[in-house]
Structure 1
Amino acid sequence: MSDQGVKEMTPQELMEKLAAKEELQVVDVREVEEWNAGHIKEARLIPLGFLPHRVDELDKDVPVVLVCRSGARSHMATEYLTNLGFDAANMVGGMLAWPGETEQ
């Protein structure tokens, strides 16, 4: 069940896109402690509360995939970026569902 206007991507789809070296911005919106416990290698950390202040760090011409622990915070972030005109997608299930390797 997805809200209208929020694109979703499965962890598997994201893995395949990263493996294919597709141009993507992976943004992890969790807190620093969560990030330090393990994150997707290609991701960059922008905690959800900081996103409005750091949105200019993102390229509007490159798709953005948002990640959090379970998919709730990244869903809000996806909605926010979509409203700003980004091509944003929420990785459903979050890091709890991530089957790939993580970095610390």
Structure 2
Amino acid sequence: MDDFDMISPQQFTAKLQKGELGQAMIIDVREKQEWDYYHLDEAVLIPMNTVPAQLDKVPADCKLYVICAHGVRSAHVCYYLREQGYEDVVNVEGGMAAVAMLRGFQYD
């Protein structure tokens, strides 16, 4: 099976803050209650277990950054997307936990 690219939370956050993601899509594969707690405004919520049913929402002609809580579920989704023929798939290492720390998210 083809592998996918990985990006560190530092690199991802820097690209996001500098507007360097271009036409890329950020897919958050966490569950709705995790999303409600905190999320990236630039991301689209597609929980991991719903990805197969929602492939029509995932464009095949742009880079896809996949993020979850810690980088495990997103890796599974990256493998799945590669199996479905998506070529430009990137897993965000450390997930939202790492990105949130770098972005200084405030929790209630």
Name structure 2 gaps, 5 residues minimum.
none
Runs of 4+ in 1 over 6 A off after TM superposition: none
CA distance in 1, matches of 2:39, 2:28: 8
Matched residue count = 102
CA distance in 2, matches of 1:84, 1:28: 18
Aligned to 2:44: 44
Read off the aligned partner of 2:19 and give its amino acid letter: A
Q: CA deviation at 1:15?
A: 2.2
Of the three residues 3, 6, 11, the one matched with 1:5 is 3
- The TM-score, its normalising length taken from structure 2, stands at 0.84
Aligned to 2:72: 72
Q: What is the CA RMSD across the aligned residues, in angstroms?
A: 2.1
- The TM-score, its normalising length taken from structure 1, stands at 0.87
Name structure 1 gaps, 5 residues minimum.
none
Aligned to 1:91: 92
Read off the aligned partner of 2:4 and give its amino acid letter: V
Distance 1:74 1:103, change over 3 A: farther
